[in-house]
Amino acid sequence: MQKFPLFLAAVLVSTGVMAQPKALKDAYKDFFPVGVAVAPRNLTGPEAELIVKQFNSITPENAMKMGPIHPEPDRYAWEAPDAIVAFAQQHGMKVRGHTLCWHNQTPKWFFTDEAGKQVSREVLLERLKQHITDVVGRYKGRIYAWDVVNEAVPDTGTGIYRQSKFYEIIGEDYIEKAFEYAHAADPAAKLFYNDYNTESSGKREKIFKLLQKLKEKNVPVHGVGLQGHWSVYEPSEAALQESVSRFASLGLAVQITELDVSVHAKEHGRREKTAADKTELTPEILARQAAQYEMLFRTFRKNRGVITGVTFWNVSDKTTWLDNFPVRGRKDYPLLFDEKLQPKEFFPKIVDF
């Protein structure tokens, strides 16, 4: 389509001379479901239309995280997650749940008693069990896959466990416990360990060891989620293929769970905006983004049968979490649909192969 100026392409498509590109979910129907992370506000108006047209799976971006869904010990906030699951059912879409146990966006009350003192291992395990049982149980049969534990492995150092409150209070077995509780609550759900930066060789090996241990202990873990918060500069095709093959060698399914391709170089820690932080969409950056997306989807297709799902983290460049992370207020353009919800110029290359 890029051979024509945009207005001409639009005329050719609307008059039927030129075919509209296929929708993502149709192009990949023999490969994997294509999903998108949403908030309830995305489920009306033009964004909802785009979602229904392009995707066949949906994930709540925030609504099922520990803090948002379980703000107080005896109160769950079901409204937002219920609305998302209902939308999916109405439109015949799958739902991926995110996430049951994560050191971030966990409410403070989880780790402290009424006097403000840190709780014991027994109390924290009991709370984790209650939380997972209630959340997974409520959506039993309606959520086909869950991110059970998110980001338990640190980026640096040699230890394989992140020093989180769950790890400090319970010990390393909090991970297997979380999987066991989830499996008991919905034995049919596919259970995933999910993490980012999975193509860095050091972190890949640490995650591999963690998963290997879980498999050896017969913990009900069925897959690994590569978040896929990538950029126009990384990962390389070889590094991505290595991650997919390495994790698959444990007999695990692999899903890309939070895909976006930042136009900025990847950083993993929050920092302030500086004068150097301009967002310039040069032709070079745009060409890199097109090439990166083409490489990613070619690699996903090559791994048919192993890669069982691909989920984008947000709908369009209109708003994405990367507008505020890692640099608050720095715009990013990481998705396949632009700020006007239109497919980007290279989109046909992703769906025609």
Enzyme catalytic residues: 151, 258
Q: Where are the alpha helices (DSSP H) in the chain?
A: 6-14, 24-27, 45-54, 66-69, 79-90, 121-138, 165-170, 174-185, 201-216, 237-248, 283-302, 347-351
Among 23, 59, 61, 178, binds ligand HAH (CB under 6 A): 61
* Smallest separation (angstroms) from ligand HAH to the CB of 189: 18
- Of the pair 23, 335, the CB lying nearest ligand HAH is at 335
* Smallest separation (angstroms) from ligand HAH to the CB of 350: 22
Among 140, 215, 217, 268, binds ligand HAH (CB under 6 A): 268
Distance separating alpha carbons of residues 27 and 35, to the nearest angstrom:
13
287 three-class SS: helix
- Of the pair 38, 219, the CB lying nearest ligand HAH is at 38
Distance separating alpha carbons of residues 118 and 111, to the nearest angstrom:
6
In the range 173-202, which residues lie near ligand HAH by CB under 6 A? Answer: 196
- Of the pair 61, 317, the CB lying nearest ligand HAH is at 61
76: contact with ligand HAH by CB under 6 A: no
Which of 185, 179, 245, 244 lies closest to 215, judged by CA?
179
- Of the pair 31, 167, the CB lying nearest ligand HAH is at 167
Give CA separation, 103 vs 217, 281, 282, in Å.
23, 35, 37
User: Would you list the DSSP string of 142-183?
Assistant: T--EEEEEE--S-SSSS-SS---HHHHHH-TTHHHHHHHHHH
Distance separating alpha carbons of residues 303 and 309, to the nearest angstrom:
11
Which of 87, 10, 86, 96 lies closest to 52, judged by CA?
87
- Of the pair 127, 162, the CB lying nearest ligand HAH is at 162
In the range 282-341, which residues lie near ligand HAH by CB under 6 A? Answer: 321
* Smallest separation (angstroms) from ligand HAH to the CB of 290: 22
229: contact with ligand HAH by CB under 6 A: yes
55: contact with ligand HAH by CB under 6 A: no
Q: Give the count of residues interacting with ligand HAH (CB under 6 A).
A: 8
Residue numbers at the binding site for ligand HAH (CB under 6 A): 61, 150, 196, 227, 229, 258, 268, 321
